[in-house]
Every structure is written in C-alpha cells, then in structure tokens.
C-alpha cells in the first residue's frame, strides 16, 4: 500500500471510494458526484493498492484562526473526509492515513485537528486515535408527512415540503429522538497536535 497526495487524476477513484465507504454508515445518503474543493489550504491524501484508491483523508486547514475550526485557540484543521473502501477495512489504512496527515499538519504548524461524525463505530475509532469528544448536537431528518407537518409549513401556495434536514441544539434530546424517526447525534472530536 502506498499513501500519497491526492491528484486531480484520482477524482473518480476518490468518489468511488468515498461512496462505497459511506454506504453502511449514517452518512449513506451523503453522496458526492465529484470531489469537493476547499476554500482554504488542505491536506488531501489517498491510500492506493494496485492502482486502486482504497482510502482517503481530507483536511482543510486554517491560515487565520477561526476560518475553518471552531473549537480551541490557534490554527487548526478540519477532517472533512476519512474513508476506507469496505473491501479493505481492518488493515490499518485509516490509521496510516491519519498518522501521515498528522505529521503533515504538525509540519505546517497546526495545533489541533477537529472532526464531526455521527457513527458510533467511527466514534470509537476517533477515541482509539486519541481524539477527545468535546461537543455534540442532533442531526434530524424529516421525510415523513406527519413529521414535516409538525414543524414545517410553506407560505408559498401549492408548495409542499417533502424532506428536511435540521440541527437540534436544545437540551431535550430524548423528546426529539422520540418524535422523529431518523435522528443522529453528531459529535465533535478534537485532537491536540502540539
């Protein structure tokens, strides 16, 4: 396996790896048809086996405090994507990508990495890699008629919402979880680098 910087020629393999990696997660419907481009500088790495992209990590980082990250002081980086193709899991690929990204992050002077996730098994992976849970809120998907009627109303005649995505920042999480079918706790993890 080789870990190297992402290049534009990797886009199709990157997209395929990300889609397949996310299918059995709480982000199964967060599908991209092309790789995103970042407003700020980034560390973008891929893991390659036999010319196939089997893992990836993307970190957008700050040159000005607060431009990307929201937890802590100093210049940080946000892990937007870390994924391993399902056929290549449990081989340490994610860990190797993270270690290389951390090394590069330290070299450019980042003092921490932040990541948000809502998958319980990914939470364990971050904790095993010395990230600390610092905050959370709820992601709420509303896609049933009765759910939508209770919270949304269109002021445009003959326009009827059929889906919605919301953040719940309140304290009564159990009430929200009982009221809506698809609710995920989205957790912020932070790892100090320096």
pLDDT tens digit sequence for 54-93: 999 999 999 999 999 988 899 999 999 999 999 999 999 9
pLDDT tens digit sequence for 100-121: 999 999 999 999 999 999 988 8
pLDDT tens digit sequence for 126-164: 999 999 999 999 999 998 778 888 888 888 999 888 889
- Closest to 122 (Cα-Cα) out of 38, 185, 49, 52: 185
Cα–Cα dist 118/126, whole Å: 11
Q: Which CATH number fits domain 2-133: 1.10.8.60, 3.30.1180.20, 3.40.630.30, 3.40.630.10?
A: 3.40.630.30
CATH 3.40.630.30 region(s) of the chain? 2-133
- Closest to 43 (Cα-Cα) out of 73, 13, 8, 79: 79
pLDDT score of 194 more than 80 = no
As beta bridge partners, residue 29 has none
CA angle 96, 190, 184 (to 5 degrees): 95
**Per-residue model confidence (pLDDT) at position 58:** 98
pLDDT tens digit sequence for 35-60: 999 999 999 999 999 999 999 999 99
DSSP three-state, residue 45 = strand
**Per-residue model confidence (pLDDT) at position 26:** 87
**Per-residue model confidence (pLDDT) at position 146:** 82
pLDDT score of 19 more than 80 = yes
Give the containing element (helix H, strand E) for 20: helix 11-22
What burial letters (b/e) apply to 130-140, b meaning 16+ CB within 10 Å? ebeeeebbbbb
Would you give the distance in Å from CA 192 to the centre of its chain?
18
Would you give the distance in Å from CA 163 to the centre of its chain?
22
Residue 100: is it exposed, middle or buried by C-beta count within 10 angstroms (0-12/13-18/19+)? Answer: middle
């Amino acid at each position: 396996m080789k870990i190297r910087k992402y290049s534009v020629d990797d886009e199709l393999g990157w997209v395929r790896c990300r889609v397949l990696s996310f299918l059995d997660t709480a982000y199964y419907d967060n599908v991209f048809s092309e790789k995103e481009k970042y407003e700020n500088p980034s560390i973008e790495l891929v893991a390659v086996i036999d010319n196939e992209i089997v893992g990836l990590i993307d970190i957008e980082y700050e040159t000005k405090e607060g431009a990307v990250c929201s937890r802590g002081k100093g210049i940080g980086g946000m892990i937007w994507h870390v994924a391993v193709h399902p056929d290549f899991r449990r081989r340490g690929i994610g860990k190797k990508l993270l270690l290389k990204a951390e090394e590069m992050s330290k070299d450019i002077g980042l003092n921490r990495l932040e990541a948000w996730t809502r998958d319980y098994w990914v939470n364990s992976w971050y904790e095993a890699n010395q990230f600390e849970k610092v905050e959370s809120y709820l992601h709420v998907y509303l896609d049933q008629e009765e759910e939508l009627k209770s919270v949304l109303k269109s002021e445009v005649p003959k326009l009827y919402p059929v889906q919605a995505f919301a953040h719940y920042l309140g304290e009564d999480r159990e009430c929200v979880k009982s009221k809506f079918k698809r609710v995920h706790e989205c957790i912020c993890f932070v790892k100090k680098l320096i």
